[in-house]
Structures are given as structure tokens and as C-alpha cells.
Amino acid sequence: MIAHCDFHIHSALSPCSDDDMSPGLIVGLAKLAGLDFIAITDHQSCGNCAAAMAIAQAYEGPVVVPGMEIESSEEIHLLCLFPDLQAAKEMEALVQQAMLPLKNRPEIFGEQLLFNEEDEATGCEWRLLMQACQLSCDEIARQVLARGGVCIPAHLDREANSMLQTLGAVPPDFPTDWIELSQRADLDQFFRNHPDLVRYHVLIDSDAHHLVQIDEPGWPIDVQPWSDPAEARLQVLSALRPQFRQ
Ligand SMILES: [Zn+2]
Ligand SMILES: [Zn+2]
């Protein structure tokens, strides 16, 4: 069946996103928009994924896939999605061990708010999340795939933090069949400029930092039917997993 997906949404835990991006409001707006799947993908942290998953299940909202937008040592942004919270938390621990212990300065970077399953702000992440980690993109992909997840180069059409800008290409041995482009990308123009990338499947996500950006019906992905959210997460990740290279 065709599922409508937005796999790149920042909650208020990302310093660059609005403080009203609570898990509950994100899930509620995604449900109104008719999305079947969303992923919460904060920078270097999955700290609000548990709350979003619980709220979505309680209110029969979209299936929430735990995720992170990981910034590699090359300053490349990678959209990382996981089958369950434990896999996401293991990856978060690896990433955060590979970060400098810099404190966030909310007056400069913005708040990094954590929420509970009642959608109440419970505190702030002290560690500055707007920084690269010391893991290469190859190592990140290896670790994510080993945990049953997928690792997709994010917003390739953008100048900042894109694998295409930083490395000049998506290396053929990078283990993904999918690439992400942003909503404003001109697909025809993009593939005219990068004909070598036509062999990849395209994912278009909102990369929402503001509630008003969660208003699109989502990107269609062919997913096997599911009976519960845990199975749904496995089905959608199996649709996104690289088929020929691992
Ligand atoms: Zn990014
Ligand atoms: Zn992002």
C-alpha cells in the first residue's frame, strides 16, 4: 500500500527549531495532514522520540519512527531512522560519546527542550547539539545499518551540510538506495545536473523546524500492510533498506 511519509521533522529539542515543536503538536498536525508515518529527527539526539511514539499511539496518530539527523565528522547531515527506540538510543550514545562536551548557550543557539509522554516540557538537554561528531559518514552508516536502521544522505540539493557539496558525490559504496531532497528542489533540474544519481530512489521530506511546515500530505512510499506500529516501523524500514549493497 502507499503510505504518506515525512521522515525529517525537528522537535523543540533541536536548538534551531521553534520551542512550540512539542511531540504532541507535531503528532497532532501530522495526523491532520493525513500522514501515515513521521520521523522525529533532531540533531545528534533522539531525546523526544519516546514521547512522540507514546503520544502517537495513544491518539491513533501516524506511526512515529525514531530517528536522528546525525552530523558526521565531514559535517555531512545524515537522516538516520531506526526500527525501535533501543536502537536509536544506542546510536545516540555512540554519537554523543564522539562529540565535544560543549554546553548549549540558549541565548545564541536556542533552547533544547525535552518532553514527557504528557507533552510537558521536562527540562533541557545541556549538551550543544549543533556540532559535528567525530564519526565519519561511513562509520555512521555502518553502525546504523548494524542496528537495523537506514542512513540516507539528507537534503542533497542544499548548499549546507550536504554530502554532494562536501564530498562532490554520493560515493558508490555508500550503503543507501535512497537520497533525500528538500521540498523546494526542482527534481528535473537536479537530475539534469547529477545524472549519476538517477539510480537512487528519492525521498522528499519537510525538514520542518516550525509547526506550519507540517501541512503536506507527505511523500508516497510503497509499504507492506501492518497490524501495529512496531510492525509498521519494520515494514517501512524494509522499504528503505539498501537491496544490493550492505
Ligand atoms: Zn540538515
Ligand atoms: Zn534537518
- The domain spans of the chain are 2-240
Distance CA 33, CA 47 (A): 24
Distance CA 150, CA 236 (A): 10
Ligand 1 centroid from CA 82, angstroms? 18
Please, what is the end-to-end C-alpha distance for the chain in angstroms? 26
Instruction: Give the pairing of strands 63-71 and 37-43.
Output: parallel
Q: Grid coordinates 522528499 are at which residue? A: 204
Ligand closest to CA 205: 2
Q: Which residues surround ligand 1, an ion (CB under 5 A)?
A: 77, 154
* Residue 174 · residue 156 · CB < 8 Å: no
Q: Is residue 3 within a helix (H) or strand (E), and if so which, with residue range? A: strand 2-9
Ligand 1 centroid from CA 205, angstroms? 11
Ligand 2 centroid from CA 207, angstroms? 5
Ligand closest to CA 77: 1
Ligand 1 centroid from CA 11, angstroms? 13
Ligand 1 centroid from CA 239, angstroms? 22
Structure-block grid coordinates of residue 149: 536502521
* Residue 10 · residue 227 · CB < 8 Å: no
Ligand 2 centroid from CA 71, angstroms? 10
Ligand 1 centroid from CA 129, angstroms? 12
Structure-block grid coordinates of residue 119: 507533552
Nearest to 109 by CA among 2, 13, 1, 223: 13
Ligand 2 centroid from CA 182, angstroms? 10
This prediction has a pTM of 0.97
Cα atoms in the 13 Å half-sphere on the side-chain side of 235: 20
Q: Grid coordinates 539534469 are at which residue? A: 192
Ligand 1 centroid from CA 228, angstroms? 30
pLDDT digits (tens), the chain, 246 positions: 999 999 999 999 999 999 999 999 999 999 999 999 999 999 999 999 999 999 999 999 999 999 999 999 999 999 999 999 999 999 999 999 999 999 999 999 999 999 999 999 999 999 999 999 999 999 999 999 999 999 999 999 999 999 999 999 999 999 999 999 999 999 999 999 999 999 999 999 999 999 999 988 899 999 999 999 999 999 999 999 998 654
User: What CATH class has 2-240?
Assistant: alpha beta
**Ramachandran bin of 132, using left for φ above 0, alpha for ψ from -120 to 50, beta for the remaining angles:** beta
Q: Grid coordinates 536522528 are at which residue? A: 68
Ligand 1 centroid from CA 77, angstroms? 5
Q: What is the dihedral of CA 94, 163, 100, 121, to 10 degrees?
A: -70
Bridge partners for 121 per DSSP:
115
How many of the other CB atoms lie within 10 Å of CB of 113? 23
Q: Residue 224 carries which side chain, given as an amino acid letter?
A: Q
Ligand 2 centroid from CA 18, angstroms? 13
Distance CA 177, CA 11 (A): 27
Q: Residue 244: what pLDDT? A: 63
Ligand 1 centroid from CA 70, angstroms? 8
